[in-house]
Amino acid sequence: MATEVTVPTLGESVTEATIGEWLKQPGDAVAADEPIASLETDKVAVEVPSPVAGVIAEHKVAVGDTVEVGSLLAIVEEGGAPAAKGEDAGRAAKQREEGKEDQEEAAAPAASSDSSVTMSPAVRRAVIEHGVDPTTIKGTGKDGRLTKEDVVAAAKAKDAAPASTQTATSAPAPAPAAKGERREERVKMTRLRQTIAKRLKGAQEEAALLTTFNDCDMTAVIEAREAYKDLFAKKHGIKLGFMSFFAKAACLALKDVPSVNAKLDGDEIVYHDYVDVSVAVSAPNGLVVPVVRSVDQMSFAEVELAIAGYGNKAKEGTLTMQDMQGGTFTISNGGVFGSLMSTPIINPPQSAVLGLHRIEDRPVAVNGEVVIRPMMYLALSYDHRIIDGREAVTALKIMKEAIEDPMRMLIDL
């Protein structure tokens, strides 16, 4: 019996998606609820499960095609291999059988591993670029899938290995480009990347963007982390990071300057009495901003656990629409990549974003003396249509003072 697999409901206001990759090919066996395809929406990647156990009979769309909710994706033949369902399925089944025989004859140690490693387009390009064998890499993504980070790490390990450890059976390295040769590669933008581009450009065109800067002495926070990191990790099972300090400092500032936590809706300004912080997280397909809700009601440990959870979900590609919706204020930490200073762009319909940067020792004047302190530049970009310069500067100053004297966050100053 043939069963149709259709595009599931993708979330509020999301009506279409792009076929990111097929996780199962025609002729492949599939269990009930096992993912067979990955769809890329304008926010997250969504896996499509098989409604029944059986064998993939055929694909109805190709990778890169745009599909709408409810449209037909594939046909699954329940129970077993499809009978006379076309030459493609027959060839696929034959190829699998031949591959199985070859593995049995070879009896190699690697025969127990899956020879058809599922890879996303980004991972596939990384494999080609770095010249590594994907079957020798242990994936850290969902269900053991490879991520781009896995490929890069394997390539670095391969480069670091002494030349003497390379065996005669190693695959030959890709031939280097001839001197003077100029190459180009055209890669279609993913739906997520297209949406990021449109939203960021739209923010520039719609909002009256302005950025104010300040620098922050990180001494007190660094000393607090050093003093309590072991006790904190033992009690809460998570490391005490910088993000929880800045999230709580932001709550303090947004409470005193509510316009920074507001949004523009038509000719009305909507003020929020809660703080939902969007945290910019790097994912394999681009930057995503999951939302940590009610941060003003959370403890430091709860904030750290929530951010770490979203980071893992982003790496595994399991973020949901609900994880991404909402948010009243954004924190983006470019410092983890080494950024000294930047002008972040707001995440509409929000009105402000805090940019964090790298910490570096710099000479500063303290009580009339020049001393070396760990300093960080802070940047607050804001929509000047609803936030005045005085309010933006005041909010950033409150955050700076809370970081330099964390006791303020405990006694609400």
C-alpha separations of 347 from 72, 239, 354 in Å: 34, 28, 11
Radius of gyration of the chain (CA): 26
Structure tokens at 164: 């003497």
| Cα distance between residue 231 and residue 190, in whole Å | 43
Contacts of 244 (CB under 8 A, 6+ apart): 300, 301, 303, 304, 307
Instruction: Tell me the C-alpha distance between 35 and 19, whole Å.
Output: 13
Widest CA span in the chain: 87
Q: Alpha-carbon distance 383 to 351, whole Å? A: 5
User: Taking a C-beta distance cutoff of 8 angstroms, is the pair 214, 381 a contact?
Assistant: no
| Residue 73 main-chain phi, psi, to 5 deg | -105, -50
Residue 332 CB contacts under 8 Å (≥ 6 apart), including other chains:
280, 344, 353, 354, 355, 356
Hey, which residues are catalytic here? 384, 388
Q: What single-letter DSSP state applies at residue 347?
A: -
